[in-house]
Chains A and B, each alone.
Chain A
Amino acid sequence: MSKLLSLLFGRLPIGWLQLSHSKGRLIAAVSGVAFANLLVFMQLGIMGALNNSTIAPYALLDTDIIVSSQAGNTLTDSDNIAQVWMFQALGVPGVSAAMPIYIGNLPITLDDGTSVTLLVFGVDATKPAFVSRAIAQLLGQLTIENTALIDKGTRGIPPDVIADIIAGNAFSFEANGRTISAIATMDVGGGFLADGMIVTSDQSFFRLFAARSSAASNHILLQVDEGVSHDAVATRLRAILPAHSVKVQTVQEAAGADLAFMSTQRPTGIIFGFGVFMGILVGLVIVYQVLSTDVADHLGEYATFKAMGYGSSFFLGIVFEEAIVLAVFGFIPGLIVSMGLYAGLVSVTGLPVEMDVGRAVLVFLGTLTACTISGAIATRRLARADPADLF
Chain B
Amino acid sequence: MADIDAIQVQDLNHFFGAGDARKQAIFDINLTIERGGLTILMGPSGSGKTTLLTLIGALRDVQFGNIRVLGRELNGADQSALVQLRRRLGFIFQAHNLHESLTATQNVMMGLQVHGPGNAAKQRAAVHHILDLLGLSDRWDYLPGNLSGGQKQRVAVARALVSNPEIILADEPTAALDKASSQTVVELLKALGQRRGATTVMVTHDPRILELADRIITLEDGRIVSDQRNN
Residues in chain A within 8 A of chain B (CB atoms): 6, 10-12, 14, 17-18, 20-22, 298, 300-301, 303-311, 387-388, 390-391
Contact = CB atoms under 8 A, between A and B. Distances in A.
B100 interface: yes
B37 interface: no
A118 B91 CA distance: 79
B103 to A, nearest CB: 9
B231 interface: no
A388 B54 contact: yes
Interface in B137-179: 143, 159, 171
Contacts of B143: 21
Q: How large is the interface on B (under 10, 10 to 19, 20 to 34, 35 or more residues)?
A: 35 or more
Contacts of B88: 309
A305 B110 contact: yes
Given A17-B101, A309-B114, A391-B50, A304 B86 contact: no
Given A17-B106, A387-B59, A390-B59, A308 B111 contact: yes
Contacts of B194: none
Given A12-B110, A304-B99, 4 more contacts: A10-B117, A305-B110, A308-B159, A390-B59
B84 A309 contact: yes
B59 A14 contact: no
A319 to B, nearest CB: 14
Nearest to A3: B120
Given A12-B106, A21-B101, A309 B83 contact: yes
Nearest to A311: B83
A195 to B, nearest CB: 57
A303 B95 CA distance: 13
B114 A308 contact: yes
B57 interface: yes
B113 A391 contact: no
A300 B97 contact: yes
Contacts of B53: 391
Given A300-B97, A304-B93, A311-B80, A11 B102 contact: no
A309 B86 contact: yes
B87 A391 contact: no
A22 B99 CA distance: 13
Contact of A391 (B54, B85, B102, B117): B54
Contact of A12 (B59, B87, B109): B109
A298 B97 CA distance: 10
9 contacts: A11-B113, A301-B100, A308-B91, A309-B85, A387-B54, A390-B93, A390-B97, A391-B53, A391-B93
